[in-house]
Chains A and B, each alone.
Chain A
């Protein structure tokens, strides 16, 4: 029997947002040597996630873009309570994550599933596809104790486009694309409402990448899933996401509708990313070189904008004040940028 108490997670809550993160912080302390401890050197922290806020609507795909070390994966892991946050509030369907006990958290994880970059390490090498999926079904009571799960499996196979003769294979007998489909099937097995996809196509070959991206969009449309889609690849994100957030060193520097951000990027970092993006076309052969500076102002590292020492447009005030996300144009209500200088504000549009 399922036990319910006040701390249980109730996914049918009629909240406006499925996921609401406010001012989330996750700092990791940097290990100090014994000498430094004895010398009472103050501890240092890596600010992996440093005050990030975002909201995920029902049925929406939010793309989170960032380079390695920008904190995008830590943000995802913290948002689903795989890591404990240091500060900030996380609401799922209006319920605070901190108020949920262990049982509530377990209930929460039914409606919230994560898919990782490398399906090979996230699947048990000794289990067949069938065993892996049926186990999840049983643990989360989608299946009864003695249920063979035939209908359950065929539904999952249909959703993810897997052929049913793969059901007795083990992960090593599958190709990369098939493995990723199994990982997606396993996530779908518990009928989640929210999916967090962390770089799920970056380990795949181009021809397979497109198949998996199409599958994700189909699943969103069929099951009305909400999705946090994490990737470093601008083109991939532009193909799937309704909204995007660009992260740089633990902070969101620009956020808005996919079209708005990519058609009129405002933050110098977003511009640099777009400029560095290469596509197989003749135009990309004659592109300008990088939009980043080789001769930084060498502003003090702490304080102010994180991008200041790579930015071409940096001024001295960039090292003084922390930039906050603000709306830039009444025509684009969701488009927010965290930059003091905003060198493109009047030049790019119109």
Chain B
């Protein structure tokens, strides 16, 4: 496991004070509140959170895929030193086809059912200008080989429905890699897969990172998957990043009460015949239209204090590369 500490990493992506909101009845409902996040060259940064925490919106905002009528209200997204929020459609297209790749949760609905795998790959390669028409087929076969698909020269004639879920996700990864991106955004890429296949896909992504040196922004709800994949993790809750640290640091010394609760609520494989009750987080995650003031986790938090309701939710340094938005735990 290459820790980002032993390498001087150059910054590839930096999200600064990003606010994304949805209009609703003359109001602006913020689903992302002042997000700050940076991804270094060759780094895998994870975003973990429950449904509705804003993790998908955060990664989609990078390539302009925020579902309508949502919009970026303020903030910057710096990619290779350039703000990519203000760019026009043509520049955005170039950016997506040459710099940033994305894979989604459900490979079935992201592949066009009437095209063969080869059609999709060749089209992507030619349109992005990565390869000439003559070489595109050969290049497609190489790509499929690299993502570990067996018999690629036969598989390029197949339609998505002829492949299994894991194979389809491999094709999606091949498509994302076609333009040699420096950043791959992976939004819950293994959630719809079986556990044995999940491990294969995760290892494939780790190997590809090693080979190509690309960075990965990895979004998941599964703390187990995150801890296998990522160098650093951002924990999201109610549209805020509540904690950011190296994965080792988060697993060993979680600071924010939500992170602690999240890690201990994951059912662990137990061999005890004497059952202990699972630790739970009381209540339900908040809706972004109805966020409590101050810390969004306040109402469910066991170490809550009265000052929590006017907290500014700024990430403060705890130690090394470890930031937490909870001043209560820090002062303990």
Interface residues, chain A, with chain B CB atoms under 8 Å away:
67-68, 175, 177-178, 205-211, 213-214, 217, 232-236, 238-239, 258-259, 262-263, 272-282, 284-287, 289-290, 292, 294
Contacts and interface: CB of A to CB of B under 8 A. Distances in A.
B267 A233 contact: yes
Contact of A281 (B200, B225, B251, B273): B251
B198 A205 contact: no
Top 10 A-B pairs, shortest CB-CB distance: A278-B224, A280-B223, A207-B281, A67-B194, A210-B278, A205-B50, A235-B267, A276-B199, A210-B280, A276-B195
Nearest to B148: A294
A285 B50 contact: no
A267 to B, nearest CB: 13
A280 B266 contact: yes
A292 B196 contact: yes
Nearest to B164: A69
Contacts of B222: 278
Contact of B261 (A207, A259, A287, A289): A207
Given A206-B50, A214-B280, A239-B275, A279 B196 contact: no
Nearest to B49: A205
Interface SS majority for chain A: helix
Contacts of A175: 284
Contact of B280 (A67, A211, A286): A211
B200 A290 contact: yes
A306 to B, nearest CB: 14
Most chain A CB within 10 A, of B224, B226, B278, B285, is at: B278
A239 B268 CA distance: 8
B281 A213 contact: no
Given A68-B194, A278-B224, A280-B224, A209 B199 contact: no
B286 to A, nearest CB: 11
B228 A278 contact: yes
Most chain B CB within 10 A, of A206, A213, A214, A292, is at: A206
Contacts of A211: 280
Contacts, number: 130
A285 B284 contact: no
A295 to B, nearest CB: 9
Nearest to A217: B275
A277 B222 CA distance: 11
A70 B267 CA distance: 23
Contacts of A177: 284
Contacts of B263: 280
Contact of B271 (A67, A209, A238, A277): A238
28 contacts: A67-B194, A68-B165, A68-B194, A205-B51, A206-B50, A206-B266, A207-B262, A207-B285, A213-B267, A214-B277, A235-B267, A235-B270, A258-B273, A259-B273, A274-B269, A278-B228, A279-B269, A280-B223, A281-B227, A282-B227, A282-B252, A285-B1, A285-B228, A285-B248, A289-B199, A289-B203, A290-B199, A294-B148
Interface string B198-221: 111001000000000000000001
A269 to B, nearest CB: 9
Contact-residue size bin, chain B (C-beta under 8 Å from the other chain): 35 or more
Interface in B172-216: 194-196, 198-200, 203
A272 B196 contact: yes
A274 B199 CA distance: 11
Contacts of B268: 235, 238-239, 279
Given A68-B194, A278-B224, A281-B251, A262 B271 contact: yes
A208 to B, nearest CB: 7
Contacts of A207: 50, 261-262, 265, 280-281, 285
Contact of A290 (B196, B226, B269, B279): B196
A280 B251 contact: yes
A239 B278 contact: yes
Interface string B273-308: 101011111001100000000000000000000000
A240 to B, nearest CB: 8
A277 B270 CA distance: 12
A234 B194 contact: no
A235 B266 contact: yes
A253 to B, nearest CB: 13
B247 interface: yes
Interface in B87-145: none
A282 to B, nearest CB: 5
A285 to B, nearest CB: 6
Contacts of B51: 205
A289 B198 CA distance: 11
Most chain A CB within 10 A, of B50, B150, B280, is at: B280
A275 B221 CA distance: 20
A279 B266 contact: yes
Nearest to B198: A276
Contacts of A274: 269
B35 to A, nearest CB: 20
A208 B269 contact: no
Interface string B252-268: 10000000011101111
